Amino acid sequence: MPRTRARVRPGALSGLVAGRLPDKLGRRKPILIAAVALFSCFSTAGGLMTGFLGLFIARALMGVAEGAVLPPAQSLVVEASRENRRGLDRGLLQGFSAGQAVEGERGPVRGTV
């Protein structure tokens, strides 16, 4: 369970900052691209780690980058969706994130992680 929490808590905090930053800068797509690129780099770094501390740090940084993905992604989905599909589209986007969080916490209990 520690590896999951190493990613989830920093992600929740960075989501607060990432939610405001695109609105201040007026640019969502570059922030989303940078967050996905950083997430990929930290994910790769975590896979290359041989010790627990390195993995923990890589996962925490991965969470920071992951938290910055959802706020601009939601804004872009709202802009790209037709008005009659916005609720469904945002629900699908949010549902995938919620499912990952739930499974991330349940996996170690079930022994599947």
Q: For the chain, give every domain's residue range.
A: 2-110
pLDDT grade, residue 2 (50/70/90)?
Answer: very low
Please tell me which residue, 32 or 4, carries the higher pLDDT value: 32
Using an 8 Å Cβ cutoff, are 31 and 72 in contact?
A: yes
> Would you say residue 95 has pLDDT above 80?
no
Instruction: Give mean pLDDT, residues 44-70.
Output: 88
End-to-end, the C-alpha distance of the chain in Å comes to 9
> How is residue 113 written in tokens?
């992680």
Count other C-beta atoms under 10 Å from residue 87's C-beta.
Answer: 11
pLDDT reading at 79 higher than 70: yes
Query: Cβ contacts of residue 47 below 8 Å, gap of 6+?
Result: none
Pairwise CA distance, residues 43 & 5, whole Å: 15
